Amino acid sequence: MSDPKDSGGASIAIGVFDGVHLGHRYLFERMVEESAREGLSTTCLTLDPDPELVLHPERTPQALCSLDARVSFLRSAGIERVDVLPFTNAVADQSAFEFLSWVQRAQGLRALWAGSDFALGKDRSGTLKVIEEIGRSLGFKVCAVPPLQDGGRVISSTWIRESLEQGDVHQAMELLGRPYAIEGQVAEGARRGRLLGFPTANVIPPLGRALPADGVYVVRVLVKDVDHYGVANLGARPTFDENQRLLETHLLDFDGDLYGDTLEIQFLERLRGVERFPTVDDLRAQIGRDVVSAREAVTGLVKSGPSGESRGAVN
């Protein structure tokens, strides 16, 4: 990391910030506004991998976005500088004082911004009260921000994962402030969708990422910086006795070769669960109904106007 600037120092937030959801953005909004008034720069130290993966690998938390996307979202929240801090056992073994002393030397720490349940250092012994004492010793202040709530519940990455597990991608979108998305490269498939009359772009879901419940979804797909709507099947293909979990997306009103392209698939609405159909003709008929339902949903999104579109925009 480079030397701190010759300015008045930096306001710094430290954490994973998985998904960069509305709760995170609420903290960053306060941080950016206050720092501008005080003449401080803003920095985010985002930990990677998630400390849970290092300290409790058996829990295998599923990430809400890729590291590249996380950094991009943090920058779009108004943070001037984003540094990725590799989280290792050596970092975990540091005391709060050791770690914050290093942050101050490396980054010019003048204000530490955190949620009210924040803690760091070995065994999370550096609670806010402890950090405030360290701040008085090292010369920085602590700015604690109460958590943002929705309906009386704190907005959190855990809540978003729970919503995805239930297939409630609309709730996940409300908590994230944008549609939940999966990125992946289009792979060669059995080309069965084309034979059924509904060609699909097949993506193998990335490892380590949270996924919505298996089912059929209305999606928006970013293809080479152009948005397309579609209908996607996430899961196995029981009608054909195929168990590999795939994300198969049929783009509406699209004709082109996507093999090898990287797509961003945004989940907008769940239509139904994955089903086994008695015959291929029954499956074909249901896909036709899914496409009709997807078109109706898209029409509703378009009619919702600028506010509806902005809620679903990619940040």
Based on the structure, what is the number of domains in the chain? 2
d(CA 174, CA 43): 26
Beta bridge partners of 215: 234
Residue 313 confidence (pLDDT): 31
- If asked whether residues 66 and 201 sit together in one domain, one would say no
Residue 47 covered by a domain: yes
Give how far the C-alpha of residue 48 lies from the chain's centroid of Cα atoms, to the nearest Å: 14
Mean pLDDT, rounded, of the chain: 89
Closest CA to 10 of 47, 45, 35: 35
Q: Are 198 and 102 in a shared domain?
A: no
| In a domain? residue 227 | yes
pLDDT digits (tens, 9 = 90+) for 63-108: 999 999 999 999 999 999 999 999 999 999 999 999 999 999 999 9
pLDDT band of residue 3 (cuts 50, 70, 90) is: very low
Quick check: helix, strand or coil at residue 233?
Answer: strand
Percent of the chain with pLDDT strictly greater than 90: 71
CATH number, residue 237: 2.40.30.30
CA distance 155 to 176: 9
Average pLDDT rounded to a whole number, residues 210-222: 96
Query: 22-70 pLDDT, tens per residue?
Result: 999 999 999 999 999 999 999 999 999 999 999 888 888 899 999 999 9
SS3 147: coil
Q: Distance between CA 90 and CA 100 in Å, rounded?
A: 14
Q: Do 192 and 113 lie in a common domain?
A: no
Whether 147 and 101 share a structural domain: yes
Q: Is 224 left (phi over 0), alpha (psi -120 to 50) or beta?
A: left
d(CA 278, CA 282): 7
Is residue 223, in this structure, part of any structural domain at all?
A: yes
Residue type at position 311? R
**Phi and psi, residue 35, nearest 5°:** -65, -35
Q: Do residues 40 and 9 lie in contact, with contact meaning Cβ atoms separated by under 8 Å?
A: yes
Interhelix angle 128-138/96-107, nearest 10 degrees: 50
Q: How far apart are CA 301 and CA 293, in angstroms?
A: 12
- At residue 259 the predicted structure's pLDDT band, cuts being 50, 70 and 90, is confident
Structural domain for 59, as ranges? 10-153
Q: Is residue 170 assigned to a domain?
A: no
Has residue 243 got a pLDDT over 90?
A: no
In terms of Cβ atoms closer than 10 Å to its own Cβ (0-12, 13-18, 19+), residue 232 is buried
Query: How do 10-15 and 109-115 pair as beta strands?
Result: parallel
Residue 172 lies in a domain: no
Q: How many Å separate Cα 63 from the centre of its chain?
A: 7
Residue 69: inside a domain, yes or no?
yes
In a shared domain, residues 280 and 189: yes
Q: List the single range of 12-26, 208-222, 236-250 with lowest mean pLDDT.
A: 236-250
Q: Average the pLDDT over 290-308 and give the result.
A: 77
Instruction: Say if residue 146 is in the same domain as residue 200.
Output: no
Residue 279 lies in a domain: yes
Going by pLDDT thresholds of 50, 70 and 90, the confidence category of residue 140 is very high
pLDDT in tens, 153-203: 999 999 999 999 999 999 999 999 999 999 999 987 656 656 667 888 999
Q: Is residue 158 part of a domain?
A: no
Q: For residues 117-129, give the mean pLDDT.
A: 93
Strand partners of residue 220 = 229, 266
Phi-psi domain of 17 (left: phi exceeds 0; alpha: psi -120 through 50; beta: other)? left
Q: How far apart are the C-alpha atoms of 214 and 275, rounded to whole Å?
A: 10
Give pLDDT, residue 190: 58
What is the gyration radius of the CA atoms in the chain, in angstroms?
A: 22
Q: What pTM did the predictor assign?
A: 0.89
Same domain? For 149 and 184 the reply is: no
CATH number of the domain within which 19 lies: 3.40.50.620
